[in-house]
Structure 1
């Protein structure tokens, strides 16, 4: 029988070499952040680093930020642990590799648990006044109703405020950027009651027939793209079809949500989001209310602070792309693409921690 367990066990026993890197990670990130703020050229370079993806791809490089590259060694430990978990699952208990793989997995999980406590908060937070940390709790793309028109927004929930941003159009290989539309300190935020909602703007009705027609059109365009690929016709025709597909999917993304999620600022302004599922709406409310229990003081951000916060969203975001087919890699399997909310009512016998499984 072929054995590999001893190799994985040896690899796991050498994870300690990552310790010095992890211990210095916070200093490295802070230093990089200071250099970015002090030097615009450094900031530009650090967001557009080119790295060769593998040894065989001599001319193919992928664009990464400095922060992404600094995190890659830690990410490799996570991936190795997940590979070990899958390998152990498919190794019979009678196989001589089984106890060796179990030991390797135990070592990897213990090391990963210790570094997750140190790394995760740093990647999800930014320093504010007096050394306090503003941490990102949740972010998502949502549709905002603005004077009767539907607008796509990226909404960020931090430990002390709710931030609504608009993703700027990218051109010429420029890095992703956000525009701040508005923010509400959590101490000033409330959810509109039924009585207050009566005065709120009405939601433009979109008929089911219209949505169905969009879905049919999207399906037809996808079929056309596959047909062009099989016929090996020019890439220009495929690019035109992909552009049409992106336009139709973007329209469907804007028109589909119909459940109102209204937030009110104590200064008198109210904002309305449209959400597709009641579960998602309830989850946002619950997360905001839980965090409000820990917030006691109102505040306002200066224009510089607001700009820094908005800029940090590019690095802190957990939802990186709008759920459109056009954002999928070409080698990904065809099919449905988007966000899926799953409620796990009960789970037993999990070998990994919940954080690792979600990752």
Structure 2
């Protein structure tokens, strides 16, 4: 069995790392399995790419398509043209794509037009928000995928409703959590910890990058002001996404409690998640990590593609109106946040289940 594994952006790297480790374990045990790792180059900033490969033990990619930059359409086109060439020169039995970034959709379309099977890891998740590029990527990818590896029963049901046959849906769990488990004893205290005099469970962690939260300078200013006002004397650590930094610089927001930082490598960032009193975010993946680490999480979005983090985990869906955040911050400060549970199969063994199923499907 020959697999081409696709990764293009920071969220992908955390999802492919444990799959590659599982493949190496099976190869060492004598399994007939080979892979090529293709980095599309969608994220080309060092903090978004190279640091993650190094920290997570991901091997050097066999190919880098260097398709970063440009508009959504330009990037999609560049990935498709270059990935087609890659597949024609190194034709696999299947491609394996993860998540919901542009690379996921573009490479799936390219493979299917060459009559190559596509396998989607983290299939079936939906937010219902068609203004999100990721939602379009998910729907298009899942409409032509051959096999679907899912993180939850909610995702399974979305696929069933869209007409996917039961024998193509494989509920395996969450590879992001595999990476989390594999690295919990390797976390690195970031340099800002001592510089900002941070203490365990005595600071908030903030991440924002979605247009609804950061593109309107007045709204971003209101949101930050609300957070600063409702978090007592506790510091708020804010690793600033590149798209957010431009707006933040334009409004000149300042507060002595606000600790601004560059985007962080994985081991440093998860150190902060694990030790935070609570997380405020508009990222989907962080809600999963916070749930497994039992850290209270507030999601500044109107919808989520990971509802199990709310119904079972430590996450709450707040919306994008900053005023709605206040009562939730009050709960944190009073110590009355709900107790969350870990969703089924988020146990650190998902990648082994994926590789085992691929062997059953393609080595038989």
- Does TM, normalized by the shorter one, top 0.5? no
TM bracket, shorter-chain basis = under 0.3
Quick check: which has more Rg, 1 or 2? Answer: 1
TM-score (norm 1): 0.24
Higher relative contact order (Cα pairs below 8 Å, separated by 6+ residues): 2
Q: What's the TM-score, normalizing by structure 2?
A: 0.24
